[in-house]
Structure 1
Amino acid sequence: MVVTLVILALSAVLFVSGKIRSDVVALCALVLLLLFHILTPDEALSGFSNSVVIMMIGLFVVGGAIFQTGLAKMISGKILQLAGKSETRLFILVMLVTSAIGAFVSNTGTVALMLPIVVSLAANAHINSSRLLMPLAFASSMGGMMTLIGTPPNLVIQNALTNAGFEPLTFFSFLPVGLICVFVGMVVLMPLSKIFLTKRGTEKSDGKNKNKSLNELAREYQLSENLFRIQIPEKSIVAGKTIVELNIRQQYHLNILEVRRTVSSQSRLLKTVNQKLADPGTVLRSGDVLYVNGDFEKVREFVSRFSLVLLDAHTIEDGKGNLTSDLAFYDIGIAEIVLMPSSRLLKQTVGDSGFREKFNVNVLGIRRKNDYILHDLKDVKMLSGDVLLVQGTWKDIARLSSEDSDWVVLGQPLSEAAKVTLDYKAPIAAAIMLLMILMMVFDSIPVAPVTAVMIAAILMVLTGCFRNVEAAYKTINWESVVLIAAMLPMSLALEKTGASEYISNSLVSGLGGYGPLALMAGIYFTTSLMTMFISNTATAVLLAPIAMQSALQIGVSPYPFLFAVAVGASMCFASPFSTPPNALVMPAGQYTFMDYVKVGLPLQIIMGIVMIFILPLLFPF
């Protein structure tokens, strides 16, 4: 027992110091438990096959798909628009929307999503964003208390209950607790944020972003001006022909930016879009939509000649580039490349350059000093310092930066591709998430929660809610996964050696005489204090078995005790480093450490007092 407690104490010290990554600390503790023969190899590795860990991995993937498809951004943006320019209404909506999203998605991901939206809305309403960003971070943690999957400590106490043979919690067992957390948070934060978080001036922009966005590039090269959508009707003479056979570039001086092909099943939810690069050999089909850039009169002549359908009106007159949003970059991207002074392409024409043949990309425009060459590019000779706008699949554009020394690609194509939300997949992501929730909520559906999450994660990948499988893997926070998988056997070691019984005996002897309420209060505030220094997941893993043992020793229900651990671990607001959301908003809100103490500490104490009296009412002793 002594060795186990020493290992636990060393782990806690290293967690607090932060000099070694938390997952590495957890793995070292696990190895020590093995070396001292406290755990067998099977026991030590049991965490990696635990359903909690597998569920966490699946939830990271599901949450990543919700962000990648822009579903969460779409919903939150529309709801927050209801606030108008009222500061109070915006504050309330930020809290409600953030907590609602945080109930289903990781709190870190929720804050990363909401932060730019809230800053933008605050600027439009002439409200200091610093008043909203700290409540935004706190609301994401409060929302996590609403559902079983909202935050890892909820899964940890579920695991402790099922392992001890108690009735498992349902998906919405946490909802009453979460709603009370959000209500208390709003009531306390409204005056505190007004008093302490509105003194500083609104943060200023630190200059223009050097990397141009895709839409900025499209506007700069006037791709969004003179942009027309031409659809090929049924039984058209164009169907079955290749682009080169139409001779569109030479005869009409038009540039086909892409061919968009809609594939739809009978269900509208499964509608999807295939983007095709307009290469000379592309065979056109009925229903294809050609995105064409060029002179309107030439477009009309081309449409008339082949009896095609012009879908867009001529919109160049407004000068605002309103069609920019019509250029989607799901599969096909654009990027700038600069020709080097030593390039072999100098004095060659674009037509002879081999971009199409070697790299499968099109040259859409050339920026030469302050001039833009956008028409008849085939015969333009390239000069040193020319900047070429190229179009191709993201993979082909990325290949340009690694396979030739004649140019330099500006920006990072694969990073830009990762930023593109696959918004046409949002209905699919919504349907899959709803299916997952239904499977977890209704006991009549014979599917275990971990199975429901795995099904949802796999469906997100198979239905194309991610650009590829690698993108799905990148959404998983492996540090959190390894941390919880390596720490779960620690609770087994505490029980096996009698250490958790010893700690719980100490708690019971000290507080048990005052009744279960006092004992639960002690566990709650111990958890709350520890979470200020180590992660909420690690805290929950360590204290869940102690809470269970304490409740059993005095002969009361363990449910309120374990809920005290989950809530105490998640409701930590007094430090910017206690949770990732708190740290995320610190630079954006220009907060100091003392801002968190002034606002977060009173909230943390009030939340604790409320929960000590509420939890026994919701889950009687």
Structure 2
Amino acid sequence: MLFKPSEFFSNTPLLVTLGFLVIAIFLFVRNKIRMDVVALLVILLFSLSGILTSEEVLAGFSDPNIILIALLFIVGEGLVRTGVAYQVSEWLIKVSKNSETRVLVLLMLVVASLGAFMSSTGIVAIFIPVVLVICRQMNISPKQLMMPLSMAGLISGMMTLIATAPNLVVNSELIRVTGTKLNFFSFTPLGIVILIASVLYMLVARKWLKGDINDIENQKDKHSIQDLIEEYQLNQRIKRFVVKSGSPFINQVVEELHLRSNYGLNILAIERWKRLRPVFLSTSLGKIEIREKDILLIDVSNPELSLDTFCEDYHLELAEIKQQNFNQQSKSLGMVEITPTPNSDYLNNTISELRFRSRYGLNIIGIKRNQDILQGNIVDEPVKAGDLLLATGDWKSIQELRKKTKNFFVLDYPTEIERAVPAQSQAPYAILSIITMVILMVTGIVANVVAALIACLMLAKFRCIDAKSAYNSIQWSSLILIIGMMPFSIALQKTGGVNLIVDYLLSITGNWGTHTLLMGLFIICAVIGLFISNTATAILMAPIAIEIAHYLHVSPIPFAMTVAIAASAAFMTPISSPVNTMVIGFGDYKFSDFIKIGVPFTVIVMLITVFLVPILFPL
């Protein structure tokens, strides 16, 4: 087989297809038009050109892997909403202690492991605030940890079949062309080796990322709950009371105790242990029946009340509020500032007359008027125009407040809302659902898309997710991007472009052996990945890799695996992957930092892939 330039230039449909590809890459690089819109333009161009039929142009909408990717977004959301991902991050903070080396190693291992079952973009987004907290506690620059975080996020895509879209795209192409499919853990041995290499590499390369500890102070932190607590001087007011045996509170409904009117005490939440973990109850709080060993989170706004006498009379015990209590509470219990609208029906009504808890499920625990915080019992304080009211309750009620009333403006949400865990008590069921999905995928009892669907239905059945959160979790723009790029793969094959590219590649490297071919494939994927997404790279290169294997009469799996790994190896520039883009600001990185760290490691990944893939997947 020999590459002939004359065949290339006389093939008009192929030239038009490549012209469309150049246009798409140009638009991707300029970044003036959303990538999913560019993908829709690609569909339109192929439809109008007549190169592909309507069925071929829209083939992506019927691809099972598109459904699988959408379902996996929902599975990842289940891990976030139940707090499974955050529990792992908190464990990381705890065991890392004060060792920068230990925290780097554990961070990369945990992120890569979790990312094997959920979106790499999602897992990096979760861990960015975790890394910032670690940096503050350990007095180190975020520059030292943000790039290891993004690198681990990318490598997580090399750990399992479902870890990233390129893996699924390559597997789909294998099935379509050859009937061969990859197993759930086909990528895992190679991914583990690359992960170990990345950890060792970053232990050395982090020395090239010198950063000032003051970098973290330069971050534009949003308002946090801790800021609100300090601003409204709640540190000394909020107390935890343990309900002891014999307390008259036991079996009493909260609203029947009349603690606010009688003592100036406002119960904000009830901490109750279920399944060996604390659960914070704040929804419909007035109707909750108090039990023995409950922990009452109370706002003590009456400075004249003797807490010792109160505890003795009602068999309660004061418990210390620690930072870990605050971290746990902030996943379920939130705060937000609100202000009455100029024409609010509630102006000049007292706090007690607002009946905020019964109306909206929230408590008003602070008032700021003319930049001054009102002290003492605010129950009988009338609401004035321009007042800022501090409301607290569960995050769901806080988010729904805007929909329920036009009498109040809701100001900016604090940062903790991004880590809200509305289904924390359902975490064991989320883990069960994930394990079930993995077992079904590994054993092959059902198709992967069916296994993911079963997991999503289990998550819904156990109330780990709801319909709204499920639909919102799907990154529709990513799905449209994949669907819109699929016509290129079909068009390149239909117009003979795949064969011509294969001929050209073989004419250059054909006499140099299989390893050289694999290296050539990897380099081409890595270069293309600098300009377009890793998913689009996989869509374009997978058919070429499989065709090369077909011509050589060898197994297509090593060639397909090389394309998948190369597509995920987007380490070289900050725009190669959204994962890299997310950490630029937090790490205060320059473009050159990614080149300095990413290019050598991409070469390392290439060498590992080229020499290990033929061993793991014999030709």
* Shorter-chain TM-score tier: 0.7 to 0.9
Compute the displacement of 1:191 (Å): 2.4
Q: CA 1:147–1:405 in 2, change beyond 3 Å: closer, same or farther?
A: closer
Instruction: Report the equivalent of 2:21.
Output: 8
Q: CA 1:300–1:45 in 2, change beyond 3 Å: closer, same or farther?
A: farther
Compute the displacement of 1:417 (Å): 4.8
Q: Give the TM-score normalised by the residue count of structure 2.
A: 0.85
Given candidates 561, 564, 578, the residue that maps to 2:562 is: 564
**CA distance in structure 1 between the aligned counterparts of 2:599 and 2:100, rounded to whole angstroms:** 24
RMSD: 3.6
Instruction: Report the equivalent of 1:166.
Output: 179
Deviations 1:8-52 (Å, cap 9, x if unpaired)?
Answer: 333233333333222222221122222223322222222112121
Deviations 1:104-129 (Å, cap 9, x if unpaired)?
Answer: 22221222222232333234334333
Compute the displacement of 1:529 (Å): 1.0
**CA distance in structure 2 between the aligned counterparts of 1:607 and 1:619, rounded to whole angstroms:** 17
The residue identity in structure 2 corresponding to 1:390 is A
Instruction: Report the equivalent of 2:607.
Output: 609
Instruction: Report the equivalent of 1:487.
Output: 485
**CA distance in structure 2 between the aligned counterparts of 1:382 and 1:58, rounded to whole angstroms:** 47
User: Comparing 516-525 with 339-348, which one deviates more in the overlay?
Assistant: 339-348
Q: CA 1:91–1:287 in 2, change beyond 3 Å: closer, same or farther?
A: closer
Instruction: Report the equivalent of 2:433.
Output: 432
8 Å CA contact 1:367–1:373 kept in 2: the answer is no
8 Å CA contact 1:146–1:175 kept in 2: the answer is yes
The residue identity in structure 2 corresponding to 1:257 is L
Compute the displacement of 1:243 (Å): 5.5
8 Å CA contact 1:563–1:615 kept in 2: the answer is yes
**CA distance in structure 1 between the aligned counterparts of 2:80 and 2:611, rounded to whole angstroms:** 37
The residue identity in structure 1 corresponding to 2:600 is P
**CA distance in structure 1 between the aligned counterparts of 2:368 and 2:213, rounded to whole angstroms:** 40
Q: CA 1:204–1:16 in 2, change beyond 3 Å: closer, same or farther?
A: closer
**CA distance in structure 2 between the aligned counterparts of 1:80 and 1:394, rounded to whole angstroms:** 24
Q: CA 1:550–1:121 in 2, change beyond 3 Å: closer, same or farther?
A: same
User: Comparing 342-351 with 527-536, which one deviates more in the overlay?
Assistant: 342-351
**CA distance in structure 1 between the aligned counterparts of 2:283 and 2:244, rounded to whole angstroms:** 14
SS state at 1:220 partner: coil
Compute the displacement of 1:334 (Å): 3.9
Compute the displacement of 1:299 (Å): 7.8
Given candidates 155, 176, 179, the residue that maps to 1:142 is: 155
The residue identity in structure 2 corresponding to 1:421 is V
Deviations 1:456-515 (Å, cap 9, x if unpaired)?
Answer: 22333342324x432232222222111112222321222222221222122223322333
**CA distance in structure 2 between the aligned counterparts of 1:453 and 1:432, rounded to whole angstroms:** 9
1:290-369 to 2 correspondences below 5 Å = 291-294=297-300, 310=316, 312-313=317-318, 315=320, 324=326, 330=332, 333-339=334-340, 345=346, 347-353=348-354, 355=356, 361-368=362-369, 369=371
8 Å CA contact 2:280–2:329 kept in 1: the answer is no
Given candidates 493, 496, 514, the residue that maps to 1:498 is: 496
Compute the displacement of 1:103 (Å): 1.9
Compute the displacement of 1:261 (Å): 8.1
Instruction: Report the equivalent of 1:97.
Output: 110
User: Comparing 168-177 with 38-47, which one deviates more in the overlay?
Assistant: 38-47
Compute the displacement of 1:137 (Å): 1.2
1:24-173 to 2 correspondences below 5 Å = 24-173=37-186
Q: CA 1:325–1:586 in 2, change beyond 3 Å: closer, same or farther?
A: closer
Q: CA 1:39–1:464 in 2, change beyond 3 Å: closer, same or farther?
A: same
Structure 2 unaligned segments of length 5 or more: list them: 1-12
Q: CA 1:328–1:600 in 2, change beyond 3 Å: closer, same or farther?
A: closer
Compute the displacement of 1:531 (Å): 0.7
Q: CA 1:586–1:565 in 2, change beyond 3 Å: closer, same or farther?
A: same
8 Å CA contact 1:103–1:150 kept in 2: the answer is yes
Instruction: Report the equivalent of 2:218.
Output: 206
Instruction: Report the equivalent of 1:455.
Output: 454
**CA distance in structure 2 between the aligned counterparts of 1:198 and 1:613, rounded to whole angstroms:** 33
Compute the displacement of 1:230 (Å): 4.3
* Residue 370 of structure 1 pairs with residue 375 of structure 2: no
Deviations 1:143-194 (Å, cap 9, x if unpaired)?
Answer: 2111101111111111111112333111111111101211232333332331
Q: CA 1:510–1:110 in 2, change beyond 3 Å: closer, same or farther?
A: same
User: Comparing 526-535 with 389-398, which one deviates more in the overlay?
Assistant: 389-398
The residue identity in structure 2 corresponding to 1:94 is L
The residue identity in structure 2 corresponding to 1:540 is A
Instruction: Report the equivalent of 1:588.
Output: 586
Q: CA 1:388–1:85 in 2, change beyond 3 Å: closer, same or farther?
A: closer
SS state at 1:176 partner: helix
SS state at 1:552 partner: helix
Q: CA 1:438–1:129 in 2, change beyond 3 Å: closer, same or farther?
A: same
The residue identity in structure 1 corresponding to 2:372 is N
Instruction: Report the equivalent of 2:473.
Output: 475
1:392-431 to 2 correspondences below 5 Å = 397=398, 401=402, 408-412=409-413, 417=417, 419-422=419-422, 423-431=424-432
8 Å CA contact 1:232–1:285 kept in 2: the answer is no
**CA distance in structure 1 between the aligned counterparts of 2:535 and 2:229, rounded to whole angstroms:** 43
Instruction: Report the equivalent of 2:388.
Output: 387
SS state at 1:276 partner: coil
**CA distance in structure 2 between the aligned counterparts of 1:379 and 1:56, rounded to whole angstroms:** 54
8 Å CA contact 1:92–1:186 kept in 2: the answer is yes
Given candidates 233, 248, 255, the residue that maps to 1:220 is: 233
**CA distance in structure 2 between the aligned counterparts of 1:469 and 1:148, rounded to whole angstroms:** 26
**CA distance in structure 2 between the aligned counterparts of 1:394 and 1:82, rounded to whole angstroms:** 29
Compute the displacement of 1:522 (Å): 1.5
1:515-534 to 2 correspondences below 5 Å = 515-534=513-532
8 Å CA contact 1:366–1:386 kept in 2: the answer is yes
Structure 1 unaligned segments of length 5 or more: list them: none
Q: Give the TM-score normalised by the residue count of structure 1.
A: 0.85
Q: CA 1:47–1:95 in 2, change beyond 3 Å: closer, same or farther?
A: same
Q: CA 1:198–1:299 in 2, change beyond 3 Å: closer, same or farther?
A: closer
SS state at 2:390 partner: strand
The residue identity in structure 2 corresponding to 1:564 is T
* Residue 257 of structure 1 pairs with residue 274 of structure 2: no
Instruction: Report the equivalent of 1:547.
Output: 545
Q: CA 1:56–1:252 in 2, change beyond 3 Å: closer, same or farther?
A: same
**CA distance in structure 2 between the aligned counterparts of 1:323 and 1:556, rounded to whole angstroms:** 59
SS state at 2:434 partner: helix
8 Å CA contact 2:141–2:211 kept in 1: the answer is no
Q: How many matched pairs?
A: 600
Q: CA 1:470–1:202 in 2, change beyond 3 Å: closer, same or farther?
A: same
**CA distance in structure 1 between the aligned counterparts of 2:570 and 2:600, rounded to whole angstroms:** 11
Q: CA 1:554–1:421 in 2, change beyond 3 Å: closer, same or farther?
A: same
Compute the displacement of 1:366 (Å): 3.1
**CA distance in structure 2 between the aligned counterparts of 1:156 and 1:72, rounded to whole angstroms:** 26
**CA distance in structure 2 between the aligned counterparts of 1:329 and 1:133, rounded to whole angstroms:** 23
User: Comparing 59-68 with 338-347, which one deviates more in the overlay?
Assistant: 338-347
Q: CA 1:83–1:39 in 2, change beyond 3 Å: closer, same or farther?
A: same
Deviations 1:395-427 (Å, cap 9, x if unpaired)?
Answer: 6655665777765433248x8655422333332
**CA distance in structure 2 between the aligned counterparts of 1:90 and 1:242, rounded to whole angstroms:** 46
SS state at 2:42 partner: helix
Compute the displacement of 1:59 (Å): 1.1
Instruction: Report the equivalent of 2:284.
Output: 277
The residue identity in structure 2 corresponding to 1:506 is Y
